[in-house]
C-alpha cells in the first residue's frame, strides 16, 4: 500500500464513530425511483457503497437507466452526511451501451489484447454514466453445462481463465485507478461456484485442496496479481463450509497467502443466507461468522449494519476486526481518487471504434464446429428460411447480464438477412 494513502486512511479512521465504521461495511441497493428513500438510508446507515439495481436478478430483469446527475446529487448528499464518498457499483459484465459477446464467447477468441481493449471500451461507457465499480470479471471455472451461469465465465480451462482475468482487470482498472476513466474491477465468485453439484445454482461443491489450488483458484490468483481491488465471495459451500463464513478461504488463502490487498464483498444477501445453509442461527450469528472470516462488505441484506454494534459490545467481534475491514474499503476509495474527485462529469468516447471492436470480438469468438457440407459461407443466391421466435427479437441478442444495452440501435436477424 502507498504510504501516503495508508497515513490518510489512518487519519480518517481515527476520527470515525462506531456507526461510521459499521456503515462503511454496507453495500446498499439503489433505485432511481426511490431517491428520497436512498437519502434516508444514507442518513441513517452511513453506507460505504450503493449497487444500482432493482433486484437480485439484474441480469435478466429490466433495469432502470442510469442518470449521472442523480448519482452526483446522491454523492453530494452522502459527503455532507458522512464526510466520506460512496462507491457506485453496477453489473457491467460484457458491455454497457455497446455490447460485446458474452464472456464465454470472448474467452473462446483467445485474443487477450482484444479482450483487454473491449473492457477498456466498456469502462469508458460505464464511467460516462457515473459508475465507479464494475462487478466483473466472473472467473468461475465451469465444467457442467447444466449450470445456468456458465455463459458469464471464461469456461472450463484454468489457463484460459488466468489470461481472461488478467486482460479484464487491466482493461477495467487501467494503469492508474485514480483517473476518472478507470473503474474498480471485482473478481467473482470466489470460489468453486461453477462446481455446484448437479449444476444447481447456490448448491454445495465438493473439492479437494489439490483441485481447488490447481484448477479453481488459478484465475483468481491471476486477478490478484493483475491488481484487482475487490473480490466477491460466492454463495456456495465448499466441502461443507459456506465460503461466506470460511476463514480459511477468505483470510488464510486469499488475503494472507495470495496477499490480496483490496476488500471482499459478499454476493447479494449471502450473509443472511448462512441461516439457510445451516451454520448460523439468526442475522446476528450470520454477521459474526462472516466478518470474523474476513468478509469486509455485506451486500444488500443489512446484517452488518443491524448487528455488528451489538457483537462488538458482547466481544464476539473485536473492534480491530472492524477497523481492518474499514481500512481496506477506505484504501480502495483513496486509490480510486474518490476523496479528491467524488463527482463524475462524463466524457466523450469513440462510439464507432467501440462498435468496430465489438464486431471484431464477435467475429473472433464464433466457433464453427463442423462445415462438412460447405454450408458456410452462405450462397447469396440461395433461398433461406428463417423461422423461430428469435427472428424478430432484439433484447435476447444482447445476451444475459446486459443491463444497459440499447435495443433501439439494434437490427433483428430478419432485418439483416
As averages over each run of 10 residues, the pLDDT of the chain (417 residues) reads 91 97 96 92 97 78 85 97 97 94 96 98 96 97 93 96 98 96 97 91 89 97 98 95 97 98 97 96 98 98 97 98 98 98 90 96 89 84 89 89 87 89
> CA 275, CA 227: separation in Å to the nearest integer?
33
Q: What is the pLDDT of residue 153?
A: 96
pLDDT tens digits for range 38-95 = 999 999 999 999 999 877 677 677 788 888 999 999 999 999 999 999 999 999 999 9
Q: Which of 118, 125, 120 lies closest to 101 in space, CA to CA?
A: 118
Whole-number pLDDT of residue 199 = 85
Q: Is the dihedral of CA 68, 343, 47, 244 positive or negative?
A: positive
The catalytic residues are 267
Q: Are 192 and 225 in contact (CB under 8 A)?
A: no
Handedness of CA 224, 226, 228, 232 (dihedral sign): negative
Q: For residue 147, how far is the Cα from the chain centroid?
A: 19
Query: Using CA atoms, how far apart are residues 106 and 71, in angstroms rounded to an integer?
Result: 31
Cell of 256: 494472507
What pLDDT sits at residue 369?
A: 83
Q: What pLDDT is attached to residue 1?
A: 64
Tell me the three-class secondary structure of 206-226, residue by residue: CCCHHHHHHHHCHHHHHHHHC
pLDDT at residue 187, as a whole number: 98
Amino acid at each position: 500500500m502507498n504510504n501516503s494513502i495508508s497515513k490518510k486512511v489512518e487519519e480518517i479512521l481515527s476520527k470515525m464513530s462506531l456507526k461510521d465504521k459499521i456503515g462503511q461495511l454496507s453495500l446498499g441497493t439503489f433505485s432511481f425511483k426511490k431517491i428520497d428513500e436512498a437519502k434516508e438510508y444514507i442518513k441513517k446507515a452511513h453506507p460505504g457503497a450503493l449497487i444500482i439495481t432493482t433486484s437480485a436478478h439484474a441480469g435478466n430483469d429490466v433495469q432502470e437507466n442510469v442518470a449521472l446527475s442523480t448519482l452526483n446529487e446522491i454523492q453530494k448528499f452522502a459527503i455532507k452526511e458522512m464526510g466520506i464518498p460512496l462507491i457506485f457499483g453496477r453489473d457491467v459484465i460484457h458491455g454497457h451501451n455497446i455490447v460485446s459477446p458474452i464472456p464465454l464467447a470472448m474467452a473462446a477468441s483467445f485474443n487477450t489484447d482484444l479482450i483487454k481493449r473491449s473492457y477498456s471500451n466498456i469502462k469508458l461507457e460505464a464511467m460516462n454514466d457515473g459508475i465507479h465499480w464494475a462487478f466483473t470479471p466472473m472467473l468461475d471455472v465451469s465444467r457442467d453445462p447444466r449450470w445456468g451461469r456458465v455463459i458469464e465465465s471464461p469456461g472450463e480451462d484454468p489457463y484460459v481463465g488466468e489470461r481472461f482475468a488478467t486482460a479484464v482487470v487491466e482493461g477495467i482498472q487501467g494503469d492508474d485507478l485514480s483517473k476518472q476513466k478507470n473503474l474498480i474491477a471485482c473478481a467473482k465468485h470466489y470460489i468453486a461456484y461453477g462446481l455446484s453439484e448437479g449444476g444447481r445454482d447456490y448448491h454445495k461443491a465438493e473439492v479437494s485442496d489439490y483441485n481447488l489450488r490447481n484448477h479453481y483458484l488459478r484465475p483468481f490468483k491471476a486477478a490478484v496479481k493483475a491488481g484487482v481491488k475487490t473480490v466477491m465471495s460466492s454463495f456456495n459451500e465448499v466441502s461443507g463450509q459456506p465460503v461466506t463464513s470460511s476463514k480459511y478461504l477468505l483470510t488464510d488463502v486469499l488475503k494472507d497467502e495470495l496477499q490480496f490487498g483490496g476488500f471482499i464483498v459478499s454476493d447479494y444477501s449471502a450473509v443472511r443466507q448462512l441461516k439457510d445453509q445451516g451454520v448460523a442461527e439468526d442475522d446476528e450469528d450470520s454477521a459474526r461468522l462472516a466478518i470474523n472470516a474476513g468478509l469486509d462488505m455485506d451486500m444488500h441484506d443489512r446484517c452488518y449494519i443491524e448487528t455488528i454494534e451489538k457483537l462488538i459490545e458482547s466481544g464476539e467481534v473485536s473492534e480491530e476486526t472492524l477497523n481492518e475491514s474499514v481500512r481496506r474499503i477506505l484504501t480502495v476509495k483513496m486509490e480510486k481518487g474518490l476523496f479528491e474527485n467524488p463527482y463524475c462529469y462524463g466524457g466523450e468516447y469513440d462510439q464507432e471504434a467501440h462498435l468496430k471492436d465489438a464486431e471484431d470480438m464477435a467475429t473472433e469468438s464464433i466457433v464453427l464446429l463442423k462445415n462438412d457440407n460447405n454450408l458456410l459461407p452462405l450462397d447469396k443466391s440461395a433461398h433461406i428460411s428463417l423461422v423461430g421466435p428469435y427472428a424478430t427479437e432484439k433484447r435476447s441478442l444482447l445476451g444475459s447480464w446486459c443491463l444497459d444495452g440499447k435495443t433501439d440501435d439494434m437490427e433483428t436477424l430478419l432485418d439483416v438477412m
